[in-house]
Structure 1
Amino acid sequence: MHKFEEKVLNTIKKYELLSNDETIVVGVSGGADSMALLVSLISIGYTCIVAHINHQIRGDEADNDQKYVEEFCLSNNIMCYSEKIDVVKISMEQKISLEMAGRNVRYNFFEKVLNKTSAQKIAVAHNKNDCVETTIFNLIRGSSLSGLKGINAKNRNVIRPLIECSREEIVEYLDFKSVDFKIDKTNLCNDYTRNKIRNKIIPLMKEINPGVVDTIYSNSKIIEEENNFIKGCVSEYTKIYVKQTDNAVFLDTSCYNKFNNSIKSRLIIYCIEKAIGKHIELTKKHVEIISNLSNGKMFALENNGLTITNNYGILCFKVDFEKTVDFSHLICDEKGVLSDKNDCMFDIRFVSFDEIKNFNEATYICIDNINKPIYIRNRKKGDKIKILNVGTKKVKDIFIDKKVQKDLRDKISLIATDDEVLAICNFNVSQKCLVDEYSKKILMIKTND
């Protein structure tokens, strides 16, 4: 067995990437990394199925890469699935970067092949250099500790058997095996940050330390160990300070004075990932903004459809925050005749004083002195209500005093005429509409469950 194959096998055993009887979908572009991955896995004795995506970005070059992969598989009796997908079009339609669109397309296709063939794992060709480039990239842009650990050897059913192999070892192995490979010329273009790191920054670093790739990789593994330890600690804290419902995650910030910034940051990242259901990398700046969010303020991670709101010391992490649509429905006209088009969400009718068993079960208002059409609506800017023994008060201030979450305030129903708020459902009734045993026209407004 060649030393390169031994190294790949040791990586597989070290990280428990594969069992002997598993079938692998191998992502193969035709480049050096993926060809070395395919050849080494087959040489070790694994059953491999090739998946190739033609991104339709490089014209004839991309077509030649596809042809090469298909012919290599045919001549070596390897099952191969290939597909052409217009990644540029997808990038424009979804308004995401070309790199992100390409990545999404590849992994979706790999999963498709996995399900079709009943394979167990997906192998991709990230190597030691890729890991180092990721660490440097995250260091430059600003990252939490987890971003400096580079690339994981395993992520669920996606494995990276070449993660401890350098690019030089890969090319040397292919030369020994007399296996050709294709060169993606876009990797030589320094318009992309990662290419600048690969083609400019790392060569400069090698002038100072020829073994810089190994050094940074080793450091990234130390960071990974430290990261896993802290992660375990945070996991215990989440049981105390984090709550989750069907559509939101809540973090009690009263714990802030007990922890340093590192733990606070981890709790925030944990809540974000729980809310959106996937791992993301956040910059230190983002974490600081969320950590310092003042009461009533909101911060959005728009790419993930997530909003974070501070509601009186509780951070609420919620996906797909929907802005409440303004509503207004006529309840009764100026003569006190009920509208026959009342919203089915509400039970609205006249009742007698004797029918009222519990004033907390619904909102009851006396309209004996109201000679205008009455509506049920959500709040408007500047709304005020006159409350007994309190005086006139802004509806907004009432919500603040009652500690009503900011994203719920526009969903609370108000009973009003064109120029006056008569009641805030389930909260307050205007002084002029209070019900007593002398009330003749008592209107009941109740939300249907």
Structure 2
Amino acid sequence: MKKVADFIDRHQLLGPSDKILVGLSGGADSVVLLHMLAEMGYACEAAHVNFRLRDKDSDEDALFCRNFCEEIHIPFYYLEEDTKAYAKQHKLSVEMAAREIRYNWFNTLLETYHLDAVAVAHHKNDQAETILMNLIRGTGITGMRGMLPKNGKIIRPLLCMTRKEVEDYITSNHLPFRTDKSNSDTSFRRNLIRHEILPPIEKLNPAFTNSVDDLSLRFTESAIIVEEYIRNWKEKNMVDPDRIPIEKLFQNPASLTILYGILADFGFNAATIKEIYDAWPYHSGARFYSGAYYVLADRDYLLIEPVKQQEQEVGAREVYPENKLDSNLHFEELSINQLESIPKEAHIACLDLDKLKLPLRIRSWQQGDKFRPLGMKGYKKVSDFLIDNKINLAEKESVKVLLSADDIAWVIGYRIDDRFKTSKNTRFILWVEHTIE
């Protein structure tokens, strides 16, 4: 307990008179968090969300949390939500929908009951899993920081503890807890990392979790230094915030990091920024799109310009894993074992997740676009494909394509590319559903 108390003081997570909302799932981690904060004398209240994802188990978790709070005299708040329906309505994965439901409700409780912070029960092992997930997907300094001890009003007092230390606290204090059976389901990527990837690494280095925790701290502090460096470089070299001097940029040995620091503020993702970086020396007039802005290569400058409304359909915009626009696309990561068969409907695409290069982007099809229609060995122009399928002119104008890097993975609503189809070796599927309202 002293370790957690010192961690709270060192990171200034709480004041002695703060009122805390604890996210209580019923699992060992959140039970320890609530019990420990209450034992330290903090004024705690607990909140539990029944996501209705595990039938009877979900109801039993909720009952356990309610009873546990009654036993230790903690105020209890409860929310029940149809998460799958919410995910479909808001075009989110089930995991992202659950997160949005949880934190939206937490914020409401904070405002309604004048609470000071939301405490969640992530520990060192969760941190190691998060950083590995970010590393596998592709990340920069921000992703390598992992979860912060404090992010706004969200605090993580247990980030100084390992899973074993949490289990030891449960045992020594004879605390009850619930076990979520889905935590052993390796069809979820985090569970796959937890049960199949981390254990062999920890055999090679038993201190790996603590090493990653130290790495996270170094990246957190490094990010502060990098942000200050970029801010100073901009003040010295950029007269206008939307004009990057090309010569001065590439004279700097940290040019890619500077470019990322500038363009990320305009909504450019890491893949597009790297594309811009690799395109130097530039052909005058070259354009690179991302959402509401594009970069135009002028003679001496990279100009950051807003995309006109009529041009926004041409520029490729990121839609997964972060959906930055209402694209009428719903994404969900699934294990191949979760599907009995691959659906035949044209408005659904099941793509081999390991073959995709994230982030995925969407744009209108363009003359000259080619792809390999499912079932074909050779390439075909999208324009010819649409003609062969008797798509009229009005419908053609609204056709969009889903991009994996620069490759078309799906002519949306019509045909996926053969290169991204599932096979006997497929383990994970990206389910993409196109909805028309």
TM range (shorter): 0.5 to 0.7
Summarize the Cα distance change of 1:243–1:222 in structure 2 as closer, same or farther, 3 Å threshold. same
Q: Give the TM-score normalised by the residue count of structure 1.
A: 0.63
* Number of the residue aligned with 1:61: 57
Q: State how far apart, in whole Å, the 1-side matches of 2:220 and 2:110 are.
A: 29
Report Cα offsets for 1:393-423 as digits up to 9, x if no partner: xxxxxxxxxxxxxxxxxxxxxxxxxxxxxxx
* Number of the residue aligned with 1:323: 310
Alpha-carbon contact 1:241-1:251 (below 8 Å) kept: no
The equivalences for 1:267-346 within 5 A come to 267-272=259-264, 274-275=265-266, 283=270, 285-292=271-278, 295-300=285-290, 305-310=291-296, 312=298, 313-316=301-304, 318=306, 322-323=309-310
Structure 1 residue 226, shift from structure 2 partner: 2.3
> Which amino acid letter does the alignment assign opposite residue 287 of structure 1?
I
* Number of the residue aligned with 2:418: none
1:256 aligns with 2:249: yes
Q: State how far apart, in whole Å, the 2-side matches of 1:182 and 1:321 are.
A: 53
Q: Percent identity?
A: 28
* Number of the residue aligned with 1:383: none
> Which amino acid letter does the alignment assign opposite residue 323 of structure 1?
Q
Q: State how far apart, in whole Å, the 2-side matches of 1:201 and 1:94 are.
A: 32
> Which amino acid letter does the alignment assign opposite residue 16 of structure 2?
N
Q: State how far apart, in whole Å, the 2-side matches of 1:11 and 1:100 are.
A: 29
Q: Secondary structure at the match of 1:99?
A: helix
Q: State how far apart, in whole Å, the 2-side matches of 1:22 and 1:321 are.
A: 48
Q: State how far apart, in whole Å, the 2-side matches of 1:171 and 1:321 are.
A: 56
1:87 aligns with 2:83: yes
Alpha-carbon contact 2:123-2:162 (below 8 Å) kept: yes
Q: Secondary structure at the match of 2:235?
A: helix
Summarize the Cα distance change of 1:173–1:16 in structure 2 as closer, same or farther, 3 Å threshold. same
Q: State how far apart, in whole Å, the 1-side matches of 2:185 and 2:308 are.
A: 40
The equivalences for 1:380-419 within 5 A come to none
Q: Secondary structure at the match of 2:178?
A: coil
1:104 aligns with 2:100: yes
Q: State how far apart, in whole Å, the 2-side matches of 1:233 and 1:180 are.
A: 49
Report Cα offsets for 1:270-323 as digits up to 9, x if no partner: 543x346xxx9x55x3430243466342323xxxx54433252334265x8632
Q: State how far apart, in whole Å, the 2-side matches of 1:137 and 1:150 are.
A: 10
Instruction: Indicate which of 46, 68, 72 corresponds to 2:42.
Output: 46
Gaps of 5+ in 1: 326-449
Alpha-carbon contact 2:296-2:305 (below 8 Å) kept: no
* Number of the residue aligned with 1:7: 3
> Which amino acid letter does the alignment assign opposite residue 90 of structure 2?
Q
Q: Secondary structure at the match of 2:104?
A: helix
1:176 aligns with 2:172: yes
Alpha-carbon contact 1:127-1:163 (below 8 Å) kept: yes
Q: State how far apart, in whole Å, the 2-side matches of 1:79 and 1:243 are.
A: 55
> Which amino acid letter does the alignment assign opposite residue 132 of structure 1?
A
Alpha-carbon contact 2:124-2:159 (below 8 Å) kept: yes
Which has the higher mean CA deviation after the structures are superposed, 90-99 or 251-260? 251-260
Q: State how far apart, in whole Å, the 2-side matches of 1:11 and 1:149 are.
A: 17
Structure 1 residue 78, shift from structure 2 partner: 1.0
Summarize the Cα distance change of 1:321–1:18 in structure 2 as closer, same or farther, 3 Å threshold. farther
1:235 aligns with 2:231: yes
Q: State how far apart, in whole Å, the 2-side matches of 1:308 and 1:12 are.
A: 43
* Number of the residue aligned with 1:148: 144
Structure 1 residue 132, shift from structure 2 partner: 0.9
Summarize the Cα distance change of 1:270–1:183 in structure 2 as closer, same or farther, 3 Å threshold. farther
Alpha-carbon contact 1:52-1:83 (below 8 Å) kept: yes
* Number of the residue aligned with 1:426: none
CA RMSD after TM alignment: 2.6
Q: State how far apart, in whole Å, the 2-side matches of 1:180 and 1:296 are.
A: 62
Q: Give the TM-score normalised by the residue count of structure 2.
A: 0.65
Summarize the Cα distance change of 1:222–1:213 in structure 2 as closer, same or farther, 3 Å threshold. same
Structure 1 residue 123, shift from structure 2 partner: 1.0
Structure 1 residue 120, shift from structure 2 partner: 1.0
Structure 1 residue 116, shift from structure 2 partner: 0.7
1:116 aligns with 2:112: yes
Q: State how far apart, in whole Å, the 2-side matches of 1:243 and 1:187 are.
A: 52
Alpha-carbon contact 2:295-2:304 (below 8 Å) kept: yes
